[in-house]
Amino acid sequence: MNLTDARSLSAKDWHARAEALVPEGRHFIDGVFVDSSDGRTFDDVNPATGALVARVARGGQADVDRAVASGLEHFRSGVWSRMAPRERMNILYRYAELLEAHAAEFALLDVLDMGKPVQDMLSADIPASVECFQYFGEAIDKIEGTVTNTADDALHYILRQPLGVVGCIVPWNYPLMMAAWKVAPALAAGNSVVLKPAEQSPLSCGLLARLFIEAGGPPGVFNVVQGYGEEAGAPLALHNDVAKIGFTGSVEIGKQMLIYAGQSNMKRVTTECGGKTPQIIMGDVEDIDRAVQYAVNGIFGNQGEVCNAGSRLLVDRRIAEDFSQRFTALAQTAFVAGDPLDPATTLGAMVNTEQQKRVLEYIDIGRGEGAEVAMGGGVPSGWDHGAYVEPTLFTGVNNDMRIAREEIFGPVGAVIPFDTPEEAVQIANDSIYGLAAGIWTGNVGTAHRLARDIEAGVIWVNCFDHGDMTQPWGGYKQSGNGRDKCFESIVAHTQSKSVWVDIAQY
Ligand code: ADP
């Protein structure tokens, strides 16, 4: 069912679809769904209810070997890597249309897997994923080699060629969209792909791979291996026939990816490893209610399980109290826990009970550090059967506290007052992370100075979380070394080949 029709479904309709679901949790290798070589599975649980959604193939070395071998064989055959650019473009256009045509299926799978509100899938994740395949489809014939300026006795040109088999290791917070960001540029550049979904959210990636075949993509070019990080992710990242790993996840595992590359074949590694995003609200902000609205959405949207969640609210001390009051007043009604399958729900469950526990522990840590809970701080009443956490705001936070330094990955914001723009920049940059930042000011000079001085890969001025596929997405510092979306990303999935031709003699 397409996006338009899916948007008219009621909670009852979504539940009926969930009841009727026959989930596919096997690997997808060589164009078909297959069990793990050793037949093992793991349980995939709905975090909003605790109910079993599917038994999913638990991949290991042998499954990764099969998937990589299939990818490499089809890469070398040229069936995709040497297909005429226009043909590949047409397949990715058809693919994008098919994703849109299966919007309801994708929405259901991600909601059941990780507990996010279905409305978020329909308004954000799915349109963005469709756009991603369109964008990289369109980019295919824009990649060009170069003829360089050499002396008369030589012709020298540079070819841009695909890398080979690309491993994509993705997280669970936007299961479909994160897969799209990694897979689309890799495929568009002519590579084969082995995708390892997060174990918490495996299902939509299987459907994604199947639709590639329906769109006309050759079997074996896009493979999926399900399973745990250490069992399926590590063999992929350590594989000597994998030319690149595209990773999104934690700093700890991002660093591990670089180690794996060094321990194996020096494969390229691009990482996106989250953040501790500051939103800086200057005293001269022109529309404080707009800033508050974006601050609320920026930390509570997607349950705060967002790499660029605006978790540090740096507010000019003169307006900090007013800001916090407006923030709590708005957030109480804007983000209310509910059934993720109800289109009216704005706050779903955390991805699982471990994540819920982790976030609640951070809330205790914040209390212990002396920060004040201005709202939330526990499990929403009536929702203790699922992995829910209340939207929580701490005030009186300083940047040395753990709640200001560590990525919580939950709906927990911290108001940190500052006195001068210089101090705001110093606090913003006092972090191992540098993914994104928001700046709210009525002064154009302040806006540009802060945008220049803040160490982050993405800056929003008088807005937050805006963007499209043209926007490079990635971090400074330990937020990672790659750039998703954008033209740079497809180029990063190619390598240069220098061809020198001696033309001195007739
Ligand atoms: P999070 O803490 O948000 O779950 P992780 O960094 O642990 O983030 O996981 C992101 C992705 O990396 C997931 O697909 C996960 O399975 C995978 N992963 C986790 N540990 C490893 C590992 N040791 N080797 C390879 N992949 C891993």
Reported as a single tens digit per residue, the pLDDT across 306-336 is 999 999 999 999 999 999 999 999 999 999 9
- Bridge partners, residue 195, by sequence: 168, 224
Percent of the residues in the chain that have a pLDDT greater than 90, as a whole number: 100
The answer, yes or no, to whether any atom of ligand 1 lies below 6 A from the CB of 258, is no
All structural domains of the chain: 3-273+482-495 (3.40.605.10), 278-466 (3.40.309.10)
* Under 8 Å between Cβ of 375 and 393: yes
* Under 8 Å between Cβ of 472 and 457: yes
131 annotated active-site? no
Q: At what angle do helices 85-101 and 175-188 cross, to 10 degrees?
A: 170
pLDDT attached to residue 83: 98
393 three-class SS? strand
The answer, yes or no, to whether any atom of ligand 1 lies below 6 A from the CB of 201, is no
307 annotated active-site? yes
Contacts of 92 by beta carbon, 8 Å cutoff, 6+ apart: 133, 134, 136, 137, 140, 184, 187, 188, 215
pLDDT of 505 above 90 = no
What is the spatial distance between Cα 98 and Cα 266, in angstroms, rounded to a whole number?
36
Give distance in angstroms: CA of 257 to centre of ligand 1.
Answer: 10
Rg of the chain on CA atoms, in Å = 23
Each residue of 269-312: pLDDT tens digit? 999 999 999 999 999 999 999 999 999 999 999 999 999 999 99
First to last CA, the chain: 64
Give distance in angstroms: CA of 171 to centre of ligand 1.
Answer: 7
The answer, yes or no, to whether any atom of ligand 1 lies below 6 A from the CB of 236, is no
CA neighbor of 184 nearest in space, from 134, 148, 127, 234:
134
The answer, yes or no, to whether any atom of ligand 1 lies below 6 A from the CB of 253, is yes
pLDDT attached to residue 256: 98
Backbone conformation region of residue 481, classed left if phi is above 0, alpha if psi is from -120 to 50, else beta:
alpha
Give distance in angstroms: CA of 250 to centre of ligand 1.
Answer: 7
pLDDT of 65 above 90 = yes
pLDDT of 153 above 90 = yes
Each residue of 421-474: pLDDT tens digit? 999 999 999 999 999 999 999 999 999 999 999 999 999 999 999 999 999 999
pLDDT of 480 above 90 = yes
Mean pLDDT of the chain: 98
What is the spatial distance between Cα 185 and Cα 493, in angstroms, rounded to a whole number?
7
Task: Give me 80's structure tokens.
Answer: 């995709």
Report residue 254's pLDDT band, with 50, 70 and 90 as the boundaries: very high
What is the spatial distance between Cα 275 and Cα 409, in angstroms, rounded to a whole number?
9
pLDDT attached to residue 132: 98
The answer, yes or no, to whether any atom of ligand 1 lies below 6 A from the CB of 116, is no
pLDDT attached to residue 506: 84
DSSP state of 478: G
Give distance in angstroms: CA of 258 to centre of ligand 1.
Answer: 13
pLDDT of 201 above 90 = yes
Task: Kindly state the average pLDDT of the residues 137-152.
Answer: 97
pTM: 0.98
The answer, yes or no, to whether any atom of ligand 1 lies below 6 A from the CB of 233, is yes
The amino acid occupying position 389 is V
The Cα-based distances of 197 to 52, 63, 200, 207, 253 in angstroms read: 18, 14, 8, 12, 14
Give distance in angstroms: CA of 228 to centre of ligand 1.
Answer: 8
The answer, yes or no, to whether any atom of ligand 1 lies below 6 A from the CB of 229, is yes
Q: How many CA atoms lie within 13 A of 80 on its CB side?
A: 29
What is the spatial distance between Cα 363 and Cα 376, in angstroms, rounded to a whole number?
10
Cβ atoms within 10 Å of 147's Cβ, excluding its own: 10
> Probe ligand 1: pick from 253, 305, 306, max atoms within 8 Å of CB?
253
Task: Kindly state the average pLDDT of the residues 396-418.
Answer: 98
What is the spatial distance between Cα 270 and Cα 299, in angstroms, rounded to a whole number?
26
Active-site position among 100, 231, 272, 305: 272
